[in-house]
Structure 1
Amino acid sequence: MTAYQNRDEALAWLVGAVPYIRFLGIRFDRQGDEITAHLPFQPMLIGNPVIPALHGGVTAAFLEVAAIIELSWTTLWEDLSAGRLGPDAVTPGHLPPLPKTIDFTVDYLRSGQARDCFAKARINRSGRRYASVHVDAWQDARDKPFASAVVHFLMPEAP
């Protein structure tokens, strides 16, 4: 089985395993042990063409995806680096064992404008069965988020 020695390659595999992430065009940039989600602007993401503003569902999906990948990355890296999980361990078309959303609360603080978005997730608690993650999304300045969320997850069972 292939063991990942390169964290960027492993992160790309994890993100690439989720078709909806590819559809929205969300990318993840890793700097050390921090991951930042990046949603490049596309006209299809507009919900209100008069303003124009990002669709609320796109904003919510972006926040949830950022939370899932942050939580998955921190819990799966050990298996990825040891080769217990990776391209040879998962059949094509099947996702790695990702956390399942239990509860999701979004605060829309202002309209998301027609430009790139960024998000950073922070794990508040991660246990064997349950996890809680907070996410902030911004566009121009990280200290001025346009949306934030708290997501509670059911953790996947250990193999």
Structure 2
Amino acid sequence: MQPEQLLPYIAQVFDQMPFNQLLGLKVTGFDESRAEVRFAFKPELVGNPVQQILHGGVIASVLDVVGGLMAVSSALSRLGDVPAAELQEKFGKMSTIDIRTDYLRPGRGSEFIASAIVIRSGNKVCVCRMELHNETGHHLALGTGTYMVG
């Protein structure tokens, strides 16, 4: 199977991960150049009950998810036509090495959009830039993630 044929399957797998479901994440854009994940505000995600804003851990987690999704796409683009068993083995080894989150504004909104692009991709490591915005376009957070991909 070619990498571009795998992208919808991978998006579906991310949508079905229990932690991603707990957060309410839905992959809404995913290709070789960009990944996008959306989720709705819900009381369980609040970190400050007085201000009713997202918990910082939720923000960091969402940025990590979208960065990891983008890193998977980057790794796929290097593989070519690979047997399913080999793909499964490679995906099982992918993980976050490091993530930095910069909180720019309080996490207010009714819907949140996280996106990621690749900054640099090598045979072993991929570095991504991630952003989180609310439904009105306010930039809430940004991140840089380093992912093991090989």
Shorter-chain TM band: 0.7 to 0.9
Match of 1:147 in 2: 141
Matches within 5 A, 1:51-66: 51-66=51-66
Give 1:118 shift.
Answer: 0.3
Question: Aligned residues: percent identity?
Answer: 23
Give 1:102 shift.
Answer: 1.6
Contact 2:23 2:39 in 1 (8 A): yes
CA distance in 2, matches of 1:123, 1:98: 19
Give 1:83 shift.
Answer: 6.8
CA distance in 2, matches of 1:74, 1:130: 10
CA distance in 2, matches of 1:104, 1:30: 22
Is 1:121 aligned with 2:111? no
Compute the RMSD of aligned alpha carbons: 2.9
Match of 1:45 in 2: 45
Structure 2 counterpart SS, 1:112: coil
Give 1:18 shift.
Answer: 2.9
Check 1:17–1:72 CA distance in 2 against 1; reply closer, same or farther (3 A cut). farther
Check 1:83–1:16 CA distance in 2 against 1; reply closer, same or farther (3 A cut). farther
Amino acid at match of 1:120: S
Q: What residue ranges of structure 2 are gaps of 5+ in the alignment?
A: none
Give 1:43 shift.
Answer: 1.3
CA distance in 2, matches of 1:95, 1:17: 19
Give 1:22 shift.
Answer: 1.9
Moved more, 120-129 or 96-105: 96-105
Structure 2 counterpart SS, 1:96: helix
TM-score (norm 2): 0.80
Match of 1:137 in 2: 132
User: 105, 110, 118: which one pairs with 2:100?
Assistant: 105
How many residue pairs were aligned?
A: 147
Contact 2:24 2:39 in 1 (8 A): yes
CA distance in 2, matches of 1:61, 1:31: 18
